[in-house]
Amino acid sequence: MNYHPVPDCSHKKAYETEARAEQVARHQEQKTPGLSLRVYYCDGCGMHHLTSRPLMW
Ligand SMILES: [Zn+2]
């Protein structure tokens, strides 16, 4: 099974602004102890996504 370096973001939640994405990330972190979310800008759709793998990008 091959994984492409550019993620398919069609299944992901996308946020128009970084601030909004951060807001959601902090909220989810509070609900899930130990979870660490990071916001990143996506060239694919021009929006922001959250990732739980902070070292990957
Ligand atoms: Zn995207």
Check the CA dihedral 18-5-53-57 and report its sign: negative
CB contact at 8 A, 17 and 47: no
What is the token pair recorded at 8? 């398919």
CA–CA distance, 47 with 20 (Å, rounded to integer): 11
User: Position 49: which residue type?
Assistant: H
pLDDT tens-digit readout, 11-52: 679 999 999 999 999 999 999 988 999 999 998 899 999 998
Is pLDDT above 90 for 56? no
Is pLDDT above 80 for 6? no
Q: Report how far ligand 1's centroid is from the alpha carbon of 4 (Å).
A: 14
CA–CA distance, 21 with 51 (Å, rounded to integer): 11
Q: Report how far ligand 1's centroid is from the alpha carbon of 47 (Å).
A: 6
The pTM of the full predicted model, rounded to 2 decimals, is: 0.72
